[in-house]
Structure 1
Amino acid sequence: MAAFTIRSALPADGGFLADMVVEAANWRADAARPRPVVLADATHAAYISGWQRPADRGVVAVDPEGRPVGAAWYRLFGADRPSMGFVATGVPELIIGVRPLWRAQGLGRALLRALTEDARAGGYARLALSVEHGNFAHDLYRSEGFSVIASAEGRDTMVRLLR
C-alpha cells in the first residue's frame, strides 16, 4: 500500500473537493466528462457548493509530500433539494473521489472508514451514497457494510447503518 495520511477537510479544501467530484463522475476511463461539464450540472455542483457548511464534514488523503490525492465528505440535503443518493432529511450523503494513480491501493477504503467513524461520532444513525451500476467502488461499499435500498436510472442508492 502506498504511503498516505488522512486529515480533516478544511474550508480551504473546496477547490480540491470539486476536483474529486469530477474524479467520482469520471470513474470510467472510456467515458470522460470534462470538468466544466461535470461542475455545470446542478446535481454534481450541489456536493460542493458553499463548502463548508456547518454540518459538512470530510477527510482528505495526502501523499508524503502533502499533496491531496483523495477525499471523502458528507453533506445533508433536504427533501426540497434532494441529491442523487438522498434517503431522508437528516441522513448525510457521502461523496468520495480518488485520483486515478491512487486507486486500488487502500486509500478509498481508508477514507470511507474515517468518514464513517466521523458520522457515527457525530450522532448520525445512517450514511447514504449513490453509485452508478458497474462502478468498481460498488464492491468496496458492500464490503464496508453498505446495502442497496433503491435502484433507478443506472444508479444504486446505498445505506449503511451506523448504530
Structure 2
Amino acid sequence: MHLRDATPDDADLLVDLLLEAFNWTGEARFTRNDVLRDPHTVRYVGGWGRPGDLGLVAVEDGQALGGVWARALPADEPGYGYVADDVPELGLAVLPGARGRGVGSALLAGLLDRARDAGWRAVSLSVEDGNAAARALYERHGFVVVGRNGGSDTMLRTLQPARNARADAGVAPA
C-alpha cells in the first residue's frame, strides 16, 4: 500500500468515500444523490482541488483502498465538525474490503503530517455516537472532544509545528 495526494481527478472517489463515511453502520442511510444534492454535505468535496484542499488516497495494486481529506469551511457554511474558519474539517473513509488493515491509521497519520507541514494549527472532525472504531482511531491520533452537534462529537487535533530535524538529532543550530 502507498499513499498519494488526492487530485481533482479523485472528485468522484471522494464523493464515494464521503458516502462510506456517512453510511458507516453498513446501512444505506444516504445515497450518492443525497450527498451530491445536499448543499451541506457536498461542501466537503464539491469542486475538489481548490487552493487549501489537502487529501491523500491509499492505493494498492492500482486500486483505491480509502482516503482522507480536509478543507477549511467558513462559519457561514460550516460542516458538522466546525471549530473555526482556520481549522479545516477532516473526512476519512476506508472501503469495506480494506478495513482492519491499518489503512485508516496510515491515512490519518499522513494527513496530519502534511497538515503540520502546511502550517495548519489544527484539524477538526465530527464522529457520530456509536462509531467506536472511528472514535478509537481518532483518539489514538490525539484528537479530543471539544463540542457536540446533535448525535455527534466534534473532535480537534492541535498540530505542533514541524520540529527542527537538526535539533532533534542533538545538533546545535548553525
In the superposition, the TM-score normalised over structure 2's length comes to 0.88
What corresponds to 1:19 in structure 2? 16
Correspondence 1:65-144 to 2 at 5 A:
66-135=62-131, 136-144=133-141
Aligned-pair identity in percent equals 43
- Gaps spanning 5+ residues in structure 2: where? 161-174
For the pair shown, which has the larger CA radius of gyration, 1 or 2? 2
SS of 1:88 mapped into structure 2 = coil
Q: Residue 80 of structure 2 contacts residue 149 of structure 2 at CA under 8 Å; is this kept in 1?
A: no
SS at match of 1:90: coil
Q: CA RMSD in A?
A: 1.1
Match of 2:144 in 1: 147
In 2, distance between residues paired with 1:44 and 1:103? 23
Segments of 5+ residues of structure 1 without an aligned counterpart are: none
Q: Are positions 1:34 and 2:17 aligned together?
A: no
Code of the aligned partner of 2:77: R
The equivalent position to 2:46 in structure 1, one of 41, 46, 49, is 49
C-alpha displacement of 1:5 = 1.1
Counterparts of 1:94 and 1:13, CA distance in 2: 16
- For this pair of structures, how many residues does the alignment match? 159
| Alpha-carbon displacement from aligned partner over 1:69-91 (angstroms, at most 9, x marks no partner) | 20101001111111111100111
Corresponding position of 1:6: 3
Residues in 2 aligned to 1:43 and 1:98: alpha-carbon distance in whole angstroms: 22
Bigger CA drift: 90-99 or 36-45?
A: 36-45
CA shift for structure 1 position 152: 2.7
- Which is worse superposed, 90-99 or 33-42? 33-42
* Structure 2 counterpart of 1:161: 158
CA contact 1:22–1:39 (8 Å) conserved in 2: no
Contact map agreement 2:88 2:123 (CA 8 A) in 1: yes
Structure-1 separation of matches of 2:99 and 2:53? 24
How big is each residue's C-alpha offset from its partner over 1:104-129, in whole Å with a ceiling of 9 and x where there is no partner?
A: 11000000000000100000111111
What is the alpha-carbon distance in structure 2 between the residues aligned to residue 62 and residue 30 of structure 1?
25
Cα shift at 1:10? 1.1
Q: 1:29, CA displacement in angstroms?
A: 1.5
Q: CA deviation at 1:31?
A: 4.8
